[in-house]
Amino acid sequence: MDAWDFSPPPTSDLGDHDVTFVGSHLVGKRVALLVTGGIAAFKAPLVARALRKQGADVVAFASEEGLRYVTAETLEWSTVNPVVTRLTAAAEHLSDDDPFDAYLVAPATYNTINKMAAGIADGTVTSALASALGRMEQGETKVLVVPTMHGSLHNSILTASLERLDAMGVRVVPPREDYGKHNIPSEEAIVAEVCRAVATSPLAGRRVLVTGGPTPVPIDAVRRITNRFRGRLGAEIAVELHLRGAEVRLVHGDGAFQPPAWVPFRVARTYDEYVDAVTEELDAAPTAAGIFSAAVADYKPKQVLAGKTPSGGALDSIELVPTAKVIDLVRQRHPDLHMITFKYQEGLGHDELMAIGHKRLAALDGPGAVVANRGEESGPDGEQIAWLLASNGGEPQRMEGKPAIARALADHLEAVLA
């Protein structure tokens, strides 16, 4: 750690209560955050701010037991709204004048979960939940619970309550299992579930395959040939689709970057594993689209050497042979799949890139699009610039930066799959 010179922090345009937006999936959405009496309640302010980072308007409801672990002032600071701690003549539990799009119980204790399932409304939080369940059954809101408790409390009564709530339509967010406990997941994982619950995208419930990262080819048991791409773009695309409610399957090439644990993904450690993974995922269930951003190896050693080969000798010259084009294999097996493929080039101009992109688009021989980019083209902040060329026509769409590319591809899929 560098020594501090005791200087004040740099100025910022953010106010004391403001958050830095990381997305817009909850813009225009009101979320009730219900805080119950578990030790994990101390993380509720972090959950509130994470919801706000996606644009949500958050109102906290807190039980007396919940306020043993987090103060009303902290919840008010993190939500920038008054905290509901008791019910008054305003009937706060009904929220008739300004209804909520989602109710999030985080943490959800053993006591609260069982009361919900039994229909008991004996306090601020449980009364609000009784009304929420009624609105949910009428299709007016979503209800999510995040179970957090010691493992000894997970008995048959709790299981039956969770099953009953699940059957009613309550979204049970899987806890983070550790040290014999149901721990509260990360704030990002919880927010992702809220985004998915309220998503109205045409992609919601649609299965989409995404690939990203390198696909190394082995030379021997230790060495391998790979490239500098890490898979961040593929992960960014998978996250965007996941938040819009798509059933994403990410095949991630083995590299230094790891996607978020709350996005379904599998790691392909070699080119051969990558081919097998793509084939298995597409054959496993009907898939609406495939986005192939992985930097797939074009060549592999003709012979993989056994063990660790000593330096020199056999390593002085390695004979390479072309690999099979995975996108061609996919098109043969799944001719109707909407495919988005990527073409990266260096050492050429924009017009040449567009010509190559259109040639790749024609070669798809089916529904899809091509993302073309070149190493020489970047934005003022060094962000990657790419161009989307679609088989349904139109001018190439300029995209700058990985988040913008991910949003544009999701928008494209929404338009063609709606």
Per residue in 355-378, pLDDT (tens digit) is: 999 999 999 888 999 999 998 888
Model pLDDT for residues 139-148, shown as the tens digit of each residue:
999 999 999 9
The pLDDT, as a whole number, for residue 130 is 97
With CA atoms as reference, report the closest residue to 272 among 311, 310, 329, 318: 329
Q: Which residues of the chain have pLDDT under 70?
A: none
Q: What was the pLDDT predicted at 316? A: 79
CA–CA separation, 318 and 146 (whole Å): 54
Handedness of CA 22, 376, 214, 395 (dihedral sign): positive
Check if the beta carbon of residue 150 is closer than 8 Å to that of residue 181.
yes
The Cα-based distances of 391 to 211, 272, 330, 374 in angstroms read: 20, 30, 17, 21
Residue 78 has a pLDDT of: 98
Helix and strand numbers (H, E) in the chain are 11, 20
HSE-up of 9 (CA within 13 Å, CB side)? 4
**3-state DSSP of 205-221:** CCEEEEEECECCEECCC
Q: Looking at the whole model, is its pTM more than 0.75? A: yes
pLDDT (0 to 100) of residue 138: 97
Tell me which residue of 234, 175, 133 sits closest to 40, measured CA to CA.
Answer: 175
326/277 Cα distance (integer angstroms): 11
What are the start-end ranges of the E strands in 134-263? 142-147, 149-150, 171-172, 176-178, 181-183, 207-212, 217-218, 224-225, 247-253
Query: For 9, phi and psi rounded to 5 degrees?
Result: -70, 155
Distances (CA, A) of 57 to 79, 303, 315, 331, 418: 8, 59, 61, 44, 28
The whole-number pLDDT of residue 255 equals 78
The pLDDT of residue 106 is 97
Give all strands (DSSP E) within 293-414, no chain letters: 299-301, 320-322, 338-345, 368-374, 385-390, 397-400
**pLDDT of res. 415:** 95
Q: Side chain identity at 25, as an amino acid letter?
A: H
